[in-house]
Amino acid sequence: MKKISKSVLIFLIVMAILSFTNLLNIKIDGDVLKLSGISVIVGVIAYFVTRKANKNKDEGLNIKTIFKDFKEHPKAIVFAILPFITCILSTVIANKFLPEFNEHVNNRASFAISEDLIKTILLMAVLTLGEEIAWRGFFQKQTTKIIKFIPSIILTSLLFALGHYSSGSFIVVAYDLLFVFIDSSLFGLVFKETDNAWCSWIPHFLADILGVLLII
């Protein structure tokens, strides 16, 4: 714990708590109140508030070095490609054995999906960038300072998956969260290799767009 400040620890705890709120199924006027999205806002704020303590102000988020980071870390390219495979695989399996999966995901992400594809793409770009800054640029990076990388990426991806929880049949929800966890781990591996949330954002954003197109 000596490796991080108290303010960082508080931000981490708040993000973790918020990730569990979807499980509570809190309703207002019949609509489920989803507070887990606030964890992203908290994480983004935490990143920019605490980055002053970094040796490099662009540490963990440098748009200028995207191509250089991928070039110098070929493993990151492999990890960045895999989410597209998991996206297609999850859809193919679901279409054959779990047809209600697509409807479940569509309902879960309905706030970000509209008939206007351009609007959807822009909104997804902003949302996924926020998630990468919060969960990779801040949460994963800070937790690796107090625990080893493997436990850190498991914890980060578990909380990230719980933040995507939406009620439904157990098998559909479990199937959905499993692939969210896998993809989150892959984004985390890209970030570990590059130390750049812009690099992990690219596969995250493009894989989510592919997922939307497959659902549509």
The per-residue pLDDT string of the chain (216 residues; one tens digit each, 9 = 90 and over) reads 557 889 999 999 999 999 998 887 766 655 656 778 899 999 999 999 988 766 666 689 999 999 999 999 999 999 999 999 999 999 999 999 999 998 999 888 887 787 788 898 999 999 999 999 999 999 999 999 999 999 999 999 999 999 999 888 999 999 999 999 999 999 999 999 999 999 999 999 999 999 988 876
Burial of residue 182 (number of CB atoms within 10 Å: 0-12, 13-18, 19+): middle
Which helix H or strand E contains 32, and what residues bound it? strand 31-32
What is the pLDDT at residue 195? 95
One-letter-per-residue 3-state SS of 172-196: HHHHHHHHHHHHHHHHHHHHHHHCE
Type of residue numbered 16: A
- Whole-prediction pTM value? 0.93
Query: How many Å is the maximal CA-CA distance in the chain?
Result: 52
**Residue that the structure tokens 């439904």 belong to:** 168
